[in-house]
């Protein structure tokens, strides 16, 4: 590794912050929703994992709340180029939910109240990389940000963090979701700037 001397001329305003390429910092929390905001009361909310053989594992709100919660502090990177650092969440790890599920699938399609979908490799939902998040900044997650609960997958562009999530379909073959069908990248790694198909 080389030694980099910033010198005086190279000094930046925020020398400690490294953002993915093409991103800028924002302090507020923009709302990005394709279509109307679904209103799902928690007593009618449920979350279902469906395997490639059609087996279903469903959690009611009450059952989800009874699972061990994790506190998560992560940076968010939206493909529209804003990044928000150090966001604070609470939720249930997908490791906890998927531990009970037997599957040979390699892919997952997140499904939402309201019809939005987004696809991810199953391995990107495991090993402490993804949560069903229901609290933001120590408050119940607001409806416009996906409340009562959303997927949180912060290592990928934020469109992969499905709001109003109602389930995960496990698949043997990859199946593109809403934005992926419209030309956005299948995987969406912000550090490799995978915004669009072909990036
Ligand atoms: N159900 C659903 N989830 C969604 C979206 C959406 O339109 N519908 N938009 C995605 C996009 S493009 C982004 S950037 C984030 C925005 O989340 P926020 O509105 O909480 O900032 O949610 C993602 N999850
Ligand atoms: Mo986005």
Domain assignment present for 167 = yes
Domain count, the chain: 1
Nearest of 186, 177, 51 to residue 115 by alpha carbon: 177
Domain assignment present for 65 = yes
pLDDT per residue over 3-23, tens digit each? 444 444 444 455 567 999 999
Distance separating the N- and C-terminal Cα atoms of the chain: 27
Q: Give pLDDT, residue 1.
A: 39
Q: What is the CA radius of gyration of the chain?
A: 18
Q: How far is the CA of 79 from the centre of ligand 2 (A)?
A: 5
Domain assignment present for 181 = yes
Q: Which two tokens stand for residue 139?
A: 């408050």
SS3 content of the chain, % helix, strand, coil (to 5): 15, 30, 55
Residues 6+ apart with CB under 8 A from 144: 31, 33, 37
pLDDT per residue over 31-61, tens digit each? 999 999 999 999 999 999 999 999 999 999 9
The residue range of the domain holding 80 is 24-29+42-192
Q: Starting from the CA of residue 34, give the closest ligand.
A: 1
Nearest CA to ligand 1 atom 7: 33
Domain assignment present for 2 = no
Ligand 1: residues with CB < 6 A are 29-34, 78, 112, 114, 116, 145-146, 158-159, 161-164
Residues 6+ apart with CB under 8 A from 171: 52, 105, 106, 107, 108, 109
Find the CATH number of the domain harbouring 162. 3.90.420.10
Domain assignment present for 16 = no
Task: Say if pTM beats, i.e. exceeds, 0.75.
Answer: yes
Alpha helices, H only, the chain: 61-65, 94-98, 178-181
Q: Give pLDDT, residue 198.
A: 96
Mean pLDDT of the chain: 93
| Separation between Cα atoms, residue 57 and residue 175, nearest integer Å | 21
Q: Give pLDDT, residue 11.
A: 41
Q: Which atom of ligand 1 is nearest to the CA of 32?
A: 19
Domain assignment present for 120 = yes
Domain assignment present for 188 = yes
Domain assignment present for 79 = yes
């Amino acid at each position: 590794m080389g030694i980099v001397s910033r010198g005086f001329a190279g000094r930046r305003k925020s020398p400690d912050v490294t953002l993915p390429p093409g991103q800028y910092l924002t302090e507020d929390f923009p709302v990005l929703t394709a279509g109307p905001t679904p209103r799902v009361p928690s007593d009618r909310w449920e979350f279902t994992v469906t395997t490639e053989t059609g087996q279903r594992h469903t959690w009611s709100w009450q059952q989800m709340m009874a699972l061990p919660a994790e506190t998560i502090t992560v940076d968010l990177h939206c493909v529209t180029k804003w990044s928000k650092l150090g966001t604070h969440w609470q939720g249930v790890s997908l490791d906890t939910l998927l531990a009970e599920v037997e599957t040979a699938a390699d892919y997952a399609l997140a499904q939402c109240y309201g019809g939005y979908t987004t696809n991810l490799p199953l391995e990107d939902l495991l090993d402490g990389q993804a949560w069903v998040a229901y609290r933001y900044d120590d408050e119940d997650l607001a409806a416009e940000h996906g409340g009562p609960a959303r997927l949180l997958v912060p290592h990928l562009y934020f469109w992969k963090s499905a709001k109003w999530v109602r389930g995960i379909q496990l698949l043997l073959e990859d199946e593109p979701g809403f934005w992926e069908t419209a030309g956005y990248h299948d995987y969406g790694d912000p550090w490799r700037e995978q915004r669009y198909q072909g990036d």
